[in-house]
Structure 1
Amino acid sequence: MGTSSKSNSDNLDLEYAVAGAISGFVTRFACQPLDVVKIRFQLQVEPITNHHVSKYRSLLQAFYLIFKEEGISAFWKGHVSAQLLSVIYGMSQFYSYNVLMHEFHNYPLLNEWKYSTKFVAGAGAGFIATTVSFPFDTIRTRLVAQSNNHVVYKGICHSCSCIIRHESPKAFFYGLLPTLLQIVPHTGLQFAFYAFFTDMYKKCYNEADIKFSNSMISGSAAGLLAKTIIYPFDLSRKRLQIQGFQNGRKSFGSFFECNGFIDCLKVTIKKEGVKGLFKGLIPSQLKASMTTALHFTIYEQSLIALKVLRLYISE
């Protein structure tokens, strides 16, 4: 009996990991264009307004300009590294979350603090997934940040060798601190908000299970709220990841220089005002709503499909 129980538990853990990987892959492909525009906004020192020195001036203008100058493929620039990031992150995140929640169930007192427990489990999962997948995020950011006129990296392998040769392995983890400060509460908030909104939806429509529409609506609301709360950390992370990458940014205007996370916030406020901390917020909110809705919905649907497949094979 013990062996069978252990086998079932291992199968469930594997299904959580596989569903997380599928969710990460599909979500990344669908939302990558918004991510590219968001990163370009975050890295632009000049104001994102109709200003003569600004390259990107609005969401629609940025989409049009990138398409005009670099072609449709630019919206999926760095996509391979982004997919590696998303698959590894999604797999690590949902696997870690379910393992942590399973452990928390061993303590009945924690069941009284349902949303707080989900926040802690989500935060822990975010910490683990971010640390494991962070080098791919740095590579992706640099591939997206470089212009077609000043190509420094030709691909993932080339970027890895260049960073190791000309900088150091530590460069893969530039911006890890603000990323963890961002992702840990962000992931915790996502899981807590998602649980809250799905519960509210089930009560309103008298449903026992989480349906497709519930996942989409609850995921969208959770993503929007969570991203808005932690956004300045996201901006700092991107700006720290391009330090030492001046050559790839020559046609994008002034280069943002800083020394660490706190200095990044100080320099941003000094040069661009408090509004500078929220550059790229609109595409980021759109992306967060879409991403989180897809992330949870595809995860839930993948779990259902994997369960059906498992039952079919066992028969």
Structure 2
Amino acid sequence: MVGYDPKADVRSNSKFEVALAGSVSGFVTRALISPLDVIKIRFQLQIERLSSSDPKAKYHGIFQASKQILKEEGPAAFWKGHIPAQILSIGYGAVQFLSFEQLTELAHRTSLYDAHEFSAHFVCGGLSACMATLAVHPVDVLRTRLAAQGEPKIYKTLREAVMTMYRTEGPLVFYKGLAPTVIAIFPYAGLQFSCYRFLKHAYDWVLPGDGKQKGNLRSLLCGCGAGVISKTLTYPLDLFKKRLQVAGFEQARSTFGQVRSYRGLMDCTKQVLQDEGTQGFFKGLSPSLLKAALSTGFMLTWNSLFSLRVSLNSR
């Protein structure tokens, strides 16, 4: 997820409206990209190489995985973990957009902002994402586990998942994978914000002009570009996070192939490199980039449209 231009939208809205805009845009985006998220998670957790030449590999590519999931688990499988994912999107969007607005507002008061705009957006974007991550990480763990399980389900409902995880693994289970998440989220979100601003300036330089239609297209294209760039550069940490989040959840993964136990981030990195090679760090990158491009582009466009509508209605 990523923010928008504080000069254009934020200052005309209240803090509540900014948080509401972030939540609504996150809700709509999540509903549309959920199938890509499920496929990405399945790829990330598969130990076997993503190749049709490997007879043990369950999933080979986006289309093959889609057909396999549809055949074995039905269409509802593409929205497994959707409820916690929506809670994650709404909460994350609200905290991130609100904190980014406050941080950039603070940065605007200093003389350094205009001289170092790219750096200011990188830092403000990274800090706002860290705040949002700490607030919603337990929901992210729940989303990952529900999306990762096959049939028959280990957790049939969100409530059952919370109770079972707490009883069998303790309260710290909800913060598994936090280290790689925090390490990755700062540069990921920072690059989203700063690259988005940079790409908007480049777009205006290449295609000068005015108009609402141009502004919406610019937000979509620049948001897609920012999402792809930031996701590619930080992707391995996202894979490590998912592997650590399902530690102790091997029973639900048994039908998908091999499973591994990791003692921490460094051990996970070492085992992936030894067993799966450097390509293992980028398993699921294709659906992840598609998801990042669509989610970031839609998030920016809808947030911009919703922020403008809220601002007009509140006058």
Gaps of 5+ in 2: 1-9
Q: 1:92 Cα deviation (Å)?
A: 0.7
Specify the alignment match of 2:62 in structure 1.
59
Specify the alignment match of 2:247 in structure 1.
243
Is the 2:220–2:297 contact (alpha carbons within 8 Å) kept by the matching residues of 1?
A: yes
Correspondence list, 1:171-210, <5 A:
171-207=173-209
| Distance across 2 between alignment mates of 1:9 and 1:208 | 21
1:34-89 CA deviation, whole Å, 9 max, x = no partner?
00000000000001100211111111100000001111110001100100000000
Normalising by structure 2, we get a TM-score of 0.93
2:269 pairs with one of 265, 274, 277: 265
1:133 pairs with one of 121, 129, 136: 136
| 1:280 correspondence with 2:277 | no
| 1:234 correspondence with 2:238 | yes
Is the 2:13–2:307 contact (alpha carbons within 8 Å) kept by the matching residues of 1?
A: no
2:305 pairs with one of 294, 298, 301: 301
Is the 1:202–1:208 contact (alpha carbons within 8 Å) kept by the matching residues of 2?
A: no
Normalising by structure 1, we get a TM-score of 0.93
Specify the alignment match of 2:4 in structure 1.
none
Q: 1:283 Cα deviation (Å)?
A: 0.6
2:96 pairs with one of 86, 93, 96: 93
Specify the alignment match of 1:256 in structure 2.
260
1:47 match: secondary structure: coil
| Distance across 1 between alignment mates of 2:306 and 2:267 | 43
State the one-letter code of the partner of 2:117. Answer: K
1:269-288 CA deviation, whole Å, 9 max, x = no partner?
00000110000011111111
What is the aligned residue count? 303
| Distance across 2 between alignment mates of 1:34 and 1:263 | 28
1:201 match: secondary structure: helix
State the one-letter code of the partner of 1:104. Answer: A
- Larger relative CO (CA 8 A, sep 6+): 1 or 2? 2
| Distance across 2 between alignment mates of 1:94 and 1:112 | 23
Specify the alignment match of 1:26 in structure 2.
28
| Distance across 2 between alignment mates of 1:221 and 1:121 | 19
1:210-235 CA deviation, whole Å, 9 max, x = no partner?
71100110000000010000000000
Specify the alignment match of 1:113 in structure 2.
116
Aligned-residue sequence identity (percent) comes to: 40
| 1:216 correspondence with 2:220 | yes
Question: Which consecutive aligned stretches of 4+ in structure 1 deviate over 3 angstroms post-superposition?
Answer: 8-11, 207-210
Specify the alignment match of 2:46 in structure 1.
44
Is the 1:43–1:256 contact (alpha carbons within 8 Å) kept by the matching residues of 2?
A: no
Is the 2:13–2:311 contact (alpha carbons within 8 Å) kept by the matching residues of 1?
A: no
| Distance across 2 between alignment mates of 1:227 and 1:93 | 17
Specify the alignment match of 1:5 in structure 2.
none
Gaps of 5+ in 1: 1-7
Q: 1:12 Cα deviation (Å)?
A: 1.9
Specify the alignment match of 1:122 in structure 2.
125
Specify the alignment match of 2:155 in structure 1.
153
| 1:73 correspondence with 2:76 | yes
2:14 match: secondary structure: helix
Q: 1:9 Cα deviation (Å)?
A: 7.2
| Distance across 2 between alignment mates of 1:283 and 1:307 | 35
Q: 1:11 Cα deviation (Å)?
A: 5.2
Q: 1:203 Cα deviation (Å)?
A: 2.6
| Distance across 2 between alignment mates of 1:11 and 1:39 | 36
| Distance across 2 between alignment mates of 1:255 and 1:309 | 53
State the one-letter code of the partner of 2:273. Answer: I
Correspondence list, 1:2-13, <5 A:
12-13=14-15
